[in-house]
């Protein structure tokens, strides 16, 4: 995809801004965790937290994408079942520089949903039955490009690190408050003094860390939208898909009559930006992308019909669709 020099600079500025926001949020979460450790146990607490963090990142085995998909009830799609999506995914991975093509899975659900799991070397993408049926092939390309962008930039690893910081912060907050309760008799007798600012920090620490984690999730979603537009040269395709997905979401009546119908999002990416904000950003990119960049996508789409799913999901007694 070729773009004029000035337009390409603007795209780089978008990417740089998103990258800087992610780095700053990670540094903030790590620094905030370090401050808590220092206030509780001094320099020894900081060293302990650094050791725990590095150990968790280095030795915590990542779940296989296949097992994660089993947790969501997703079924693997054999190559050739949906040939259009197979070839589109290969095309996107080639443009993204991914050596390994993610495995496609089908979520037997009437709720429109898609997500990716894994790393650059071992990954999978799940699409719900409803999404394949209701989105056009052009819109499905935008969705797949968004998920490929998550995999390309190791977003799940980044969000896993943020989740680790958030959990450690919550643990420290619990430990600090437990120590306060244990020393309450001494406080009442006036035998020890306490720093009330520390108590306030311990109380609000989990909330602050969670907000930073959710902000990071939104930043990574914006970045994935941007990179999806760059991969396809067609920001409108993803924007249209987001609009269709938003309109398909049920209202309050669905939550009352059919609770639990929705497919849950992966916990590490549990908060997304407002759809209208994402659509506005994607539409703004139309002026930044060269019109010639969409030609390879147009040529690819003309080769295929819309992929068809050969079954209708049915609701089982225990609540799953298939």
- Are 135 and 247 contacting, i.e. CB atoms less than 8 angstroms apart? no
Least confident of 5-9, 88-92, 163-167, 316-320: 5-9
pTM over 0.85: no
pLDDT of residue 260: 45
pLDDT of residue 59: 59
* pLDDT of residue 85 exceeding 60: yes
Identify which has the larger pLDDT, 238 or 290. Answer: 238
Q: Per residue in 121-173, pLDDT tens?
A: 889 999 998 899 899 989 999 999 999 999 988 888 788 778 878 888 888 78
pLDDT of residue 127: 93
* pLDDT of residue 40 exceeding 70: yes
pLDDT of residue 256: 44
Q: Per residue in 41-59, pLDDT tens?
A: 778 878 877 777 666 666 5
Q: Per residue in 223-232, pLDDT tens?
A: 899 889 888 8
Share of the chain above pLDDT 90, in %: 13
pLDDT of residue 60: 54
Q: Any idea what the Cα angle at residue 250 is, between residues 244 and 254, rounded to 5°?
A: 160
Query: Where do the domains of the chain lie?
Result: 5-301
How many residues does the structure list for the chain? 322
Calpha distance 130→138 (Å, rounded): 16
Calpha distance 306→30 (Å, rounded): 46
Least confident of 24-38, 88-102, 140-154, 268-282: 268-282
pLDDT of residue 254: 46
Nearest to 124 by CA among 100, 106, 105, 108: 105
pLDDT of residue 177: 79
CB atoms under 10 Å from CB of 19, counted, come to: 13
Q: Read off the pLDDT band of 300 (50, 70, 90).
A: low
Q: Per residue in 13-27, pLDDT tens?
A: 666 776 787 788 778
Active site residues: 147
Which of 61-75, 228-242, 269-283 is predicted most confidently?
228-242
């Amino acid at each position: 995809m070729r773009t004029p020099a000035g337009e390409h600079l603007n795209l780089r500025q978008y990417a740089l801004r998103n990258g800087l926001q992610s780095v700053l949020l990670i540094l903030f979460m790590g620094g905030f965790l370090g401050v808590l450790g220092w206030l509780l146990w001094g320099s020894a607490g900081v060293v302990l937290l650094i050791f725990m963090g590095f150990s968790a990142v280095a030795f915590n085995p990542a779940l296989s994408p296949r097992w994660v998909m089993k947790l969501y009830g997703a079924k693997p799609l054999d190559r050739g079942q949906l040939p259009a999506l197979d070839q589109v995914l290969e095309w996107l991975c080639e443009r993204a520089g991914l050596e390994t093509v993610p495995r496609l899975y089908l979520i037997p659900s009437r709720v429109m949903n898609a997500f990716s799991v894994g790393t650059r070397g071992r990954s999978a993408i799940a699409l719900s039955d409803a999404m394949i049926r209701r989105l056009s092939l052009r819109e499905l390309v935008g969705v797949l490009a968004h998920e490929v962008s998550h995999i390309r930039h190791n977003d799940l690893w980044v969000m896993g690190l943020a989740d680790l910081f958030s959990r450690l912060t919550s643990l420290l907050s619990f430990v600090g408050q437990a120590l306060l309760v244990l020393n309450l008799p001494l406080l009442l007798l006036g035998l020890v003094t306490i720093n009330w600012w520390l108590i306030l920090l311990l109380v609000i620490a989990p909330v602050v860390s969670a907000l930073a984690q959710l902000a990071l999730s939104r930043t990574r979603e914006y970045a994935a939208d941007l990179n999806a537009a760059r991969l396809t040269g067609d920001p409108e395709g993803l924007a249209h898909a987001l609009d269709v997905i938003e309109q398909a979401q049920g209202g309050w009546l669905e939550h009352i009559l059919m609770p639990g119908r929705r497919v849950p999002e992966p916990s590490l990416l549990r908060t997304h930006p407002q759809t209208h904000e994402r659509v506005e950003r994607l539409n703004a990119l139309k002026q930044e992308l060269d019109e010639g960049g969409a030609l390879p996508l147009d040529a690819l789409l003309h080769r295929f019909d819309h992929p068809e799913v050969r079954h209708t999901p049915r609701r089982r007694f225990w609540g799953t669709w298939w």
